[in-house]
Structure 1
């Protein structure tokens, strides 16, 4: 069970993802989380650096969809000015939002990347469907909701302890 929480790639931020390499490997779509993956959970808009990253993603030929467990108002205020499609109130790690995003992009799991900051929602959800999963370091843990802080992060710590004991999680720093 805990093996399903292991991402294919760990990086510090989305800016550390080698987009060219993923494209060369045949990936054509990116499903990304919003809060603490792209911006802090309380940041209403994209940073200028993130706007440039979105532009680069699209220039390379990727489709991009934000899949967030957050509410419509939060996700739409962030995504709409950037002309990025989104799925709100996703209930990750349920398969449904990931399948919906792939359908919106007209892509299959072998062509789709999932980027997120949580093992229990983004990585587990993506791995269950065979997507390429990328775990980023959370941007601002102090801004997270109570459920994420008290439940998800605690379960992640337990999972990491077990994965380390099994030799399945190495302590090297994420790629940057």
Structure 2
């Protein structure tokens, strides 16, 4: 398929649907995640109770959550300040630079991480270029920062081609997404 580089490995509703048990079952040591509209709604800098619970569970399980963002260092530092997560800013997605930096710095293998994001043109493509599994999630809120609008337009056209018949199907868990992929 022409647009395979934009097709995610898995699709789940939100980053919170990646349970600790499922991540451990698949030997995931680090969840790399986009920031805006994936981990945090861009207009909610404090995050939700659900986010803080998920971060606590992953931390207690020894699974690191690392933000890989195209935003500036100042913006990301401010956004994740109260979340106790590490981050890479100016990652230049869809270039794999930020993902590869995390793999190198943490000495992680490509199958020990997943890259989670709400955009195919940045997050999923970067994961493909880095050779790591990608997890596409629904965006947390419908509105986006203005810079994202053109990506969303292109992405919607790509989705029509990639998911001709049924559209994107978002699963309730990683296990559900993996099982569906086997069928």
Shared topology, TM-score over 0.5?
A: yes
**Per-residue CA distance 1:96-151 (angstroms, 9 max, x = gap):** 11111222322121111101100011111102222111111011232x222311x2
2:159 counterpart of 1:160: yes
Aligned to 2:179: none
| Other structure's SS at 2:70 match | coil
Structure-1 separation of matches of 2:115 and 2:54: 16
Matches within 5 A, 1:113-128: 113-128=114-129
The residue correspondences of 1:95-174 to structure 2 (distance < 5 A) are 95-142=96-143, 144-149=144-149, 151-165=150-164, 170-171=166-167, 173-174=169-170
Report how many aligned residue pairs link the two structures: 171
The question of 1:50 aligning with 2:46 is answered: no
Asked if the contact 1:113–1:133 (Cα under 8 Å) also holds between the matched residues in 2, the reply is yes
Structure 1 distance, partners of 2:51, 2:153, is 29
CA separation of 1:3/1:172 partners in 2, compared to 1, >3 Å: closer, same or farther?
A: closer
- Give the Cα–Cα distance (whole angstroms) in 1 for the partners of residues 119 and 35 of structure 2: 11
Structure 1 position 30, deviation (Å): 0.9
Q: Measure, in 2, the Cα distance between the counterparts of 1:171 and 1:153.
A: 15
Please, which runs of 5 or more residues in structure 1 have no aligned partner?
A: none
- Residue 66 of structure 1 contacts residue 84 of structure 1 at CA under 8 Å; is this kept in 2? yes
Partners in 1 of 2:89 and 2:167 — Cα distance? 33
Give 2:12's aligned residue: 11
CA gap of 1:118–1:159, structure 2 versus 1, over 3 A, is same
Q: CA deviation at 1:46?
A: 2.3
Structure 1 residue 22, shift from structure 2 partner: 2.5
Runs ≥4 residues deviating over 6 A: none
Q: TM-score, normalised by structure 2?
A: 0.85
Task: Check whether the contact 2:95–2:129 (CA below 8 A) recurs between aligned residues.
Answer: no
**What is the aligned-residue RMSD (CA, Å)?**
1.7
Matched residue SS, 1:81: coil
Match of 2:73 in 1: 72
Which residue of structure 1 aligns with residue 41 of structure 2?
40
Residue 175 in structure 1 maps to residue 171 in structure 2: yes
Whether the 8 Å contact between 1:63 and 1:105 is mirrored in structure 2 is no
Q: CA deviation at 1:164?
A: 2.8
